[in-house]
Structure 1
Amino acid sequence: MNLNRRSFLGLAGLTAAVAVTGCSTSGGGTAGSKAGAAGGPLKMPTYVPFAGPTPDLPGNAQGLDPGFLKFPASPVKSVKAVPGDGSTITGLTYYDGPIVPQMSGNAFWQEVNKRLGVTFNLDTGNDEGYPTKFNTIVAGGEIKDFMWVAPNQGLTKIAQLAEAKFVDLTPFVSGDAVKEYPNLANFQEMTWQAAVMNGKIWGVPVPYSFFGQVYAGNKKSWDSVDGFTAKTPDELIEKFKQLTDAKAGRWALEPAYVNAVAQFNQIFRGVNTWKLEGGKLTHMFETQEYVSAIEMAIKAFQAGVFYPDPKITDIASKVAQGTVAAQVLSGAGWVGVPNQPGYGTAWEMTTFIPFGHDGGKGVHNLARGSVGFTGISNKNDEKKTKMLLKVLDYLAAPFGSEEWFFLNYGVAGTQHKMEKGAPVKTKEGETQLAFSNQLKFMTQSPEFLYYPGMDETTKAIHTAQQQLLEISQPSPILGHYSETNIDKGQSLTSKVYEYIEDAVTGRRPLTDFKSVVEEWKSGGGDKIRKEFEESIAKAG
């Protein structure tokens, strides 16, 4: 488990405009853009897997997480030398957790500085405060050495900011150049696309789950109806009905209607937000598959299979208890479920693998594989930039390395102790190691699967990931940029989702959907489409 998953889920609400003067840029960049460092096509960083402890369950370049049944007995060194030059590094990063003891009273923070050869001076912001803090720093002109940039639904005018204030990292990390930073070379290509704009690489990405939303269910509940699968939509709804008994206080699904539509859309092989054909984009709202998914959700609601209170805040505990049979989780939240208290003893999880509505296969819509990127201020010269990249390379140390072990568990006898071959944080470690979560939002290890004492769970999730990847489809706009999408996309989509909640619950007719989509198009959807198409065309 890497980043604080609860915190990241809140980032979807970040919206801010970045004020940048003295620069001009337009369009977007992709892995294939024609504006690389030397004017030619951009070469994405070469992928070189970490040559550390062999996982019991191998991962791959497509996003399959490596699985470990035991904690690596002999972590290997992934960084050859102390990366820093003794200077102070400033940074703006995200953090929404318990108070971190200050450096003067935090032995772990002090040891981080020592091992990395720098002094970290970090400023942080949370869900509500990050955009304001980010904008204030940018407007003041004092860009910090490291600036964490939230995903596309967050801060706006990032392309302009990058051109004006960040180092173009293309010559440092594109192609085989990234091999100078072995842990960064361990990032899959899809992860790097988060930092690509205008055909250049503007930062180091923060790896995150490749998997999109999934239905995670209570295994005992679904075993009673022969598993969380079906051959047709009607058969699945029939299973929903069998699992629902309002008088007994049991329901099949959480009352997240928009998320349910997204899951049903995969049964109808719906697109991953956009469909690209012949250079032209079609949004999922404009497809019959999405309409069919809404219709399926309406049938489910009419059958009474959703938990009755849409304002429920403890759905995870309801699923654990079997009161609700399934909930939709992000890909990262899904693989984090076995870390919940009581898992493996009180209950176990099963995962829904979308089937095809017509007897064929369904699809799984992948996520980004990252949570934003960290830009490096262009006030730093080439020598300092290389040093800063080496620092990020250390922070990206993968599971199974000495550096990852240190960053997550600190020093033996102080921040952790070993029990049955695995590290356990001390009381002091629990407090001091919170600093590590601030560092992880600058960059971190790629995802992995490790659940102590839960071999079968590890194997089951790894198998489910393989099954999802077999039917997966990435978004065709990954690595592309639309300013209108960042500026207005979230609000436009929210209006459509408000309608979907009304349609599913019977407050508005499905016949209104066409006019709702027309409003989305005229309100900015068509402009978003145009900007993405222009970016795709530039990529060739």
Structure 2
Amino acid sequence: MDNQSKHDELSGVYNRRRFIQMMSTVTTGSVLLAACGGSDNQPLTKTTHVNTLSQKDARATLDASVGKTYFPSDDPNVLDAYTAPPPLIQSVQYVPGHGGKVTAFTISFHPAPTPYGQNKYWRELNKRLNVDWQVMLGPSDTYPEKATALLASGDVPDIFYVGLDGAPALITPVKQGAFTDLTPYLSESARKQFPNLAKIGPDAWKNSSRFGKIFGVPRPRSTAGEVLCIRRDWMQKVGITDPKNLDEFFKMAQEIQKAKPDGQQTWAFGSISPTRDFFYQMYRLPNKWGMQNGKLTYYIEMPQFKDAIATVKRFWDAGLFHPDSFTATQAQNKSDHASGKFAAYVDGFTALSGQRANAKKINPKADVVILPPFGYDGGAAVHWKGGGYYGVASIPIQKGGDSGRVKELLRILDYLCAPTFSVEGQFLALGIDGWDNEKGPNGLKKVSDRGQNEIQDMAYIANAPQVLYYPDEPPLGPALQNTQRQLLKMGIDDPTTNLVSETARLQSAKLSQIDSDHFLRIIKGDEPVSAGVDQWIKDRQQSGGDKVRQEFTQQL
């Protein structure tokens, strides 16, 4: 394909015939959900009031539970915590849609839902949104190809999920203006007209923007980055529960391995690739990019990097990493950690609760916690913050010419971002009471098998900020909130998070391979640390690294 053809494909100049041809391929392995047609537009009207406490009474009840069952965050980027569910509120006061058809495309991690004719949840969702909701689900493993092909077709849905991390090729259409600039609608003051969208934290809005514009509604996630999940019960067995420097950490790892705390051979750490970031944070390295002497500097170029990677090698040479640590997948990491094959592995902040539960199924005494980083020398460490979002829900430019239509679509997204403890949020997550859900042993509702089949990823294109609430282990919510505060206190951002480097995109595979190859050779002793790092820096700079720096610097 020549350059002009590539440009045309990304610019979406294919005709209707091309779209039909493309759809015969795209719908293999994905599903196009279609319902009956909608009605003509109608004036914006208030929703029917549901049987809940008034806003005033719900607020009073919530205020009375502060410090008891409700632990509100004093930081918009820290998650609220609960030990018991509060009274439900009604978060949406106006009917979102005007009765017509609304199409959407989003990434999916589950099978196709029950077809419309047999799906009560879908029909109820249409009723509550007051639209004919049609959503195409792109399976996660083929999302990049399907997203690019669908955008190229020229016949695009009203709402389009854009995940640049998974589909970096989409940055070109974003730059070319393929999506509506939502800044006038969603600036900090303007988004107040969408109360649920206004609850999304500032980091998510800032980090999801590109080219100085808000081009989609971010799907909020914890701003805490990846963390070290470790067996605290094993740390207690060897008497080192609070290592404060590198030597204590090394001794703790050795003692755990010697002790065989669950009566079997174990190692200190799982996969070496993500675990190394914990060591880098101990050495206060920047979050990928940082400033040194006024110059944007990649973390391997920092003077302390040689000491940091030498420390990782020291732990490897001591046999403290699992033998499969260079090849294991994250799924294997989680499974092996839960079964007691090693003490610690790196995962996302909110993954801890699930990992605790998995480990307790195998050993009820297992106590998996987050170990925040500490300075290698006993001083302060840093924590590499995450972006605070996972993709955005955008409105293609073809659909954004009418401001009334844009606001309608944003009201729909506002509904889909309803808080967890709201009437709308409970419906989105749990479906129709008595049909899609059932009460568990603790009296709380849970999705039934039928509900799972009906709900799936129907509304996954947007979501509310997460909350820390674990009905099977209520104290975990406030504990994790405190941990998140601790992490963010030492947290540092990647200053290039919402910047775009064309060279980084085009050379990403080559640069990643350089990073991987040099790291592997240094750790295994095929390259000496100092000379190996020097060559690593040189290879990276000459293969586009300096050009990436230049492009980022221009934008900064």
Query: TM-score range, shorter-chain basis?
Result: 0.7 to 0.9
Once the two structures are overlaid, the 10-residue window that deviates more, 274-283 or 423-432, is 274-283
Alpha-carbon distance change, 336 to 190 in structure 1, aligned in 2, over 3 angstroms: farther
Matching residue of 1:59: 73
Alpha-carbon distance change, 307 to 370 in structure 1, aligned in 2, over 3 angstroms: same
- Which residues of 2 match residues 205-216 of structure 1 at below 5 A? 205-216=218-229
1:408 positional shift: 0.3
Note the alpha carbon deviations across 1:300-332, whole angstroms, 9 max, x for none: 111111112234453323323433111111223
- Tell me the distance in 1 between the aligned counterparts of 2:240 and 2:386: 26
Secondary structure, counterpart of 1:221 in structure 2: helix
- Tell me the distance in 1 between the aligned counterparts of 2:364 and 2:439: 23
Alpha-carbon distance change, 375 to 491 in structure 1, aligned in 2, over 3 angstroms: farther
- Tell me the distance in 1 between the aligned counterparts of 2:426 and 2:237: 41
Matched, 1:122 2:142: no
Matched, 1:392 2:413: yes
Match of 1:521 among 522, 530, 541: 541
- Which residues of 2 match residues 364-375 of structure 1 at below 5 A? 364-375=383-394
Matched, 1:176 2:208: no
- Tell me the distance in 1 between the aligned counterparts of 2:504 and 2:74: 31
Alpha-carbon distance change, 339 to 394 in structure 1, aligned in 2, over 3 angstroms: farther
1:235 positional shift: 1.9
Alpha-carbon distance change, 407 to 491 in structure 1, aligned in 2, over 3 angstroms: farther
Matched, 1:287 2:307: no
Secondary structure, counterpart of 1:158 in structure 2: helix
The TM-score with structure 1 as length reference comes to: 0.85
1:131 positional shift: 1.4
Alpha-carbon distance change, 277 to 299 in structure 1, aligned in 2, over 3 angstroms: closer
- Tell me the distance in 2 between the aligned counterparts of 1:317 and 1:199: 42
- Tell me the distance in 1 between the aligned counterparts of 2:105 and 2:164: 15
Once the two structures are overlaid, the 10-residue window that deviates more, 163-172 or 452-461, is 452-461
Matching residue of 1:439: 459
- Tell me the distance in 2 between the aligned counterparts of 1:61 and 1:149: 27
Residue 390 of structure 1 aligns with an amino acid whose one-letter code is R
Matching residue of 1:3: none
Give the 4+ runs in structure 1 shifted more than 6 A.
none
Secondary structure, counterpart of 1:200 in structure 2: coil
Match of 2:449 among 405, 412, 427: 427
Alpha-carbon distance change, 410 to 138 in structure 1, aligned in 2, over 3 angstroms: same
| Aligned residue pair count | 491
Matching residue of 1:20: 10
Secondary structure, counterpart of 1:417 in structure 2: strand
Secondary structure, counterpart of 2:307 in structure 1: helix
- Tell me the distance in 2 between the aligned counterparts of 1:487 and 1:76: 48
Match of 1:269 among 277, 284, 292: 284
Q: Is the 8 A contact 1:203 1:376 kept in 2?
A: yes
Residue 340 of structure 2 aligns with an amino acid whose one-letter code is G
- Tell me the distance in 2 between the aligned counterparts of 1:491 and 1:131: 19
Gaps of at least 5 residues in structure 2 are: 1-5, 14-57, 64-68
- Tell me the distance in 2 between the aligned counterparts of 1:318 and 1:198: 42
1:157 positional shift: 5.0
Structure of higher CA gyration radius: 2
Residue 409 of structure 1 aligns with an amino acid whose one-letter code is L
1:150 positional shift: 0.9
Matched, 1:324 2:345: no
Matched, 1:464 2:483: yes
1:462 positional shift: 2.0
Match of 1:478 among 467, 489, 497: 497
- Tell me the distance in 1 between the aligned counterparts of 2:492 and 2:431: 39
Secondary structure, counterpart of 1:526 in structure 2: helix
Alpha-carbon distance change, 348 to 231 in structure 1, aligned in 2, over 3 angstroms: closer
Note the alpha carbon deviations across 1:494-527, whole angstroms, 9 max, x for none: 4312321332233433222211221111111111
Gaps of at least 5 residues in structure 1 are: 1-15, 24-49
Matching residue of 2:26: none
- Tell me the distance in 2 between the aligned counterparts of 1:351 and 1:228: 12
